[in-house]
Amino acid sequence: MKPYVLLLSAALAACCHSPKQGRPVYLDLSKPVEERVEDALSRMTLEEKVAMTHAQSKFSSAGVPRLGIPEIWHTDGPHGIRPEVLWDDWNQAGWTNDSCTAFPALSCLGATWDRELALAYGRSIGEEARYRKKDVLLGPGVNITRTPLNGRTFEYLGEDPYLSGQLVVPYVKGVQENGVAACVKHFAVNNQETRRTETNSIVDDRTLYEIYLPAFKAAVQEGGAWAIMGSYNLYNGQFNCHNKRLLCDILKDEWGFDGVVVSDWGGCRDDDEAVTNGLDIEMGTWTDGLRGAASNGYDQYHLANPYLERLRDGRATEDVLDDKVRRILRLSFRTNMSPEPHYGLFCTPEHTDVARRIAAAGTVLLKNDGVLPLAVPDGGRILLVGENAIKKMVVGGGSSSLKTRYEITPLEGLREALPGVDIAFERGYIGNIGTSYNNVSTGEDLSESRSADRLVADAVAAVETADVVVFVGGLNKSGFQDNEGTDRQQLDLPYGQEGVIRALAAVGKPLVVVNISGSPVSMPWADVADAIVQGWYGGSESGRALADVLTGAVNPSGKLPFTVPCSLEDGPLKTERQYPGIRVEGEQWWQEYYDEGVFVGYRWYDTRGIAPQFAFGHGLSYTDFAYGDVTLSRKELRKGQTLTAKVRVTNTGDRDGAEVVQLYVADPEASVARPAKELKGFEKVFLKAGESRDVTFTLDESALSWFDAGRHAWTAEPGEFRILVGSASDDIRSEASFNLR
């Protein structure tokens, strides 16, 4: 914890002048931030400046005690506030009051398609960070789902840059309302975990600007993000934590970013580039962030003693250092030295309510032949099968691993929701029996003495006396699943789960399959299930939120933030050079070629006419929605004008519910290859049974444009455009055309 009282005392003792001299500007909270920054900078020694640009512990960087400037404390997110660790060790510090509220994984937030919930998420996690006296929250993540095998897909918002951008902006604003910086990650083209620290991403400018940069740009220019984290991989042959093109040319010059660039832990790899190429704070573990070193390892960081030596012998200039320090001081004046008092809140009922609402709103009903919502009377029997019905998922997965006060499992959630129903359980399969990570334990015992065949036989036998069977399976957060540092090795369900599902279905009782994962899984068994639900890593309230949806207490409104393909072979990544990359003679690093260009996710499937298992934007409800004809405010659009598209949506069922109305734009006459359609608007509307509402979208030239790399400019070509409005990328209900002049 940061000793604020001691820091303030030090500031007053060391810095406050006599009454005749007055108070230093940087302590005068009425002065503009930039004046305070310049005043503080003018008082600092060279050594003090350099000390601020690198880590001093696992999660902190130095302040200036002589001037009363506090150190900066970072914390892992983006799903909750990480438990305290030792000063320079990943092991737990042994605190007893750092068990946080675990919020749903960001792929679940992506599935809500709900800007208001994204704001509530950011506010709540920001309050928890401020209460724990953290200054920088290391999240959210907005990398695009290029491959469904990416181990960190669960930490991101999906495959579409527009959807990700629309949700990251309120998240960032919500966090920063609390005087905590959102550090948006991982910048950029960081789309796999396999060899993540030694792979060079080779991507053309059009693809870069259309697919992989827009969410970051929105976070900076619309969300006002105060921090950006570089990624481990290389782009254009330079590591992204000190990549001149990304950090200097694009982020700071083109976008006008005035915050700090933080390296991923150990992502800084070169003394000269660390100084000159836009990195502001180097964080990591020991000298190079990857391996051990002497106890004074932090002094050997690229931006520590090696930087001082360069400054002293003239190989580096102080004006570049001053730019870094200005940014760091600006960060402090926005966070731990902000004039606005921020106290935070921790593990409140309001936070658990937000977590539960997000988890339920993100749950996606993929298929329903009438078995949901569950209608089992008191005295009836539901058989719950599957390890994920009892396995707690908050612990594990890498840097997003949390220690939470409690975690409700699906079995606990259903038993609580249906006290009059016999909820029986059979494990069905053995997955991952691990229950701890970095010395945080769930306290569970998942050991199992039965064989795989016996587990299936016992589950099938138990079906005979059940009214309905609910299989809860999917992935977990162990290695080679949804996990930092490793990618998945298969798209199918692991641990023989397909065989379990088919054996359960063969009995003939109604079967609901709940897939718990943070990334897509193939579902060749979909035809034997009466209902399929996409659940997520829902955090503390995961089991209750799932029960809310299964029982009908909440009408599902989630929509897929990514495509669920039938097979890997159907997708755009066809060659090893695309994924996971190849070795090229004469090159030091693995080379990963983005040959698919802008055709990622639904852009690929819709353009190629390949039917996925479930499309981007797909999600059913317990009610039905009818769409009227879309009408346009004009048939011709000229530069500088806007166009309004309006469609009436009616809840034609007998339940209240929410629908995500999606607007796509198609450019059938382009001079370059463009996707069949691209998401350019969405609105989530709640309608009571029988209620109708007009949903309106406003578009301008930017929604019609593609990035012309030759001109380095966005281009909207004259000609016909089509507006497509519907419930999913493959479920277009109405369309209209206009011309751009």
Q: Please give the positions annotated as active site.
A: 264
| Residue among 485, 456, 479 at smallest CA distance from 469 | 456
What is the C-alpha radius of gyration for the chain, rounded to an integer number of angstroms?
Answer: 26
Q: Which amino acid is at 359?
A: A
CA-CA distance, 580 to 146, in Å (whole number)? 11
- Other C-beta atoms lying within 10 Å of the C-beta of residue 585: 4
* Token pair of 288 as six digits: 């190079």
- Other C-beta atoms lying within 10 Å of the C-beta of residue 720: 12
Asked if 280 and 53 touch (Cβ cutoff 8 Å), the reply is yes
Asked if 694 and 646 touch (Cβ cutoff 8 Å), the reply is yes
CA-CA distance, 194 to 478, in Å (whole number)? 15
* DSSP of 512-553: EEEEE-SS----TTGGG-SEEEEE---GGGHHHHHHHHHHTS
Strands (E) across 331-467 are located at: 364-368, 381-385, 422-426, 436-437, 440-441
Asked if 226 and 182 touch (Cβ cutoff 8 Å), the reply is yes
Q: Which residues pair with 202 in a beta bridge?
A: 593
- Counting DSSP H helices and E strands in the chain, the numbers are 17, 29
* Token pair of 701 as six digits: 């030239």
* Token pair of 347 as six digits: 């593990």
Task: For residue 312, give the DSSP letter.
Answer: H
Asked if 184 and 142 touch (Cβ cutoff 8 Å), the reply is yes
Given the structure tokens 């569970």, which residue do they identify?
A: 444
* Token pair of 651 as six digits: 């809840």
- Report the DSSP pairing between strands 511-516 and 468-474: parallel
Q: Which amino acid is at 482?
A: D
Q: Tell me the torsion sign for CA atoms 683, 684, 690, 693.
A: negative
Asked if 211 and 159 touch (Cβ cutoff 8 Å), the reply is no
Asked if 331 and 72 touch (Cβ cutoff 8 Å), the reply is yes
Q: Which residues pair with 199 in a beta bridge?
A: 590
| Residue among 458, 470, 511, 461 at smallest CA distance from 382 | 470
Asked if 480 and 500 touch (Cβ cutoff 8 Å), the reply is no
Which helix or strand (DSSP H or E) is residue 58 part of?
none
Given the structure tokens 């002065």, which residue do they identify?
A: 31
What's the distance, CA 230 to chain centroid?
15
3-state secondary structure 652-692: CCCCCEEEEEEEEEECCCCCCCCCCCEEEEEEEEEECCCCE
Asked if 320 and 244 touch (Cβ cutoff 8 Å), the reply is no
Residue 120: CA atoms inside 13 Å, Cβ hemisphere, count? 19
Helices (H), 231-375: 271-276, 305-313, 318-334, 349-362
* Token pair of 465 as six digits: 């006396």
| Residue among 255, 243, 191, 189 at smallest CA distance from 217 | 255
Helices (H), 142-183: 161-176
Residue 294: CA atoms inside 13 Å, Cβ hemisphere, count? 4
**112 φ, ψ (degrees, to nearest 5):** -75, -30
CA-CA distance, 167 to 157, in Å (whole number)? 8
